[in-house]
Amino acid sequence: MTRTDEKVSDLPRSKRVPYTPESAAQGVQNVIRVLEGRWKLVILFQLFGGRIRRFSDLERAIPGVSQKMLIQQLRQLEADGVVARIVHHQVPPKVEYHLTDWGQSLCPALDALLAWAESAPSEMGS
């Protein structure tokens, strides 16, 4: 299994709030809203481990994504505080993306999802 959290160490633990079934479901729905989209998880995996990637590098690394869709997905991730954008004012323009600390903290959660998916019954499919 590929690990996403090898570079994540001692992330701060937030205060645990007692959840009700309703508040837990709402919290998970909020997370799914942030991660939904055909390319968002692929983008995240390209940026895990503290990698800083130029827009053109992301475009080459994700076959099948259009420029318009990549821009849209990156903007949504940036608006949600998962990805940060760095604009270098030079000619030609240079734009780089990296995960915020909060975005990087998704690594262990996605590792747990990968482990859960690997343990799925064979009827689930891939």
Rounded distance, CA 77 to CA 36, Å?
10
Coil, strand, or helix at residue 98? strand
In a domain, 96, yes or no: yes
- Report pLDDT digits (tens) over 28-50: 899 999 999 999 999 999 999 89
In a domain, 84, yes or no: yes
In a domain, 63, yes or no: yes
Output the pLDDT for position 83. 97
Coil, strand, or helix at residue 31? helix
Rounded distance, CA 124 to CA 11, Å?
33
In a domain, 100, yes or no: yes
CATH number at residue 74: 1.10.10.10
Torsion angle (degrees, nearest 10) of CA 80, 70, 61, 32: 40
Spans in the chain with pLDDT lower than 70: 1-16, 123-126
In a domain, 126, yes or no: no
In a domain, 4, yes or no: no
In a domain, 13, yes or no: no
Domain that holds residue 41: 32-114
Structure tokens at 25: 């479901």
What DSSP state is assigned to residue 41? Answer: H
Give how many domains the chain has, as a whole number. 1
Rounded distance, CA 79 to CA 53, Å?
18
Output the pLDDT for position 17. 72
Output the pLDDT for position 122. 74
Of 2, 95, 1, residue with least CA distance to 52: 95
Tokens 């954008």, located at residue:
85
Tokens 């959290």, located at residue:
5
In a domain, 2, yes or no: no
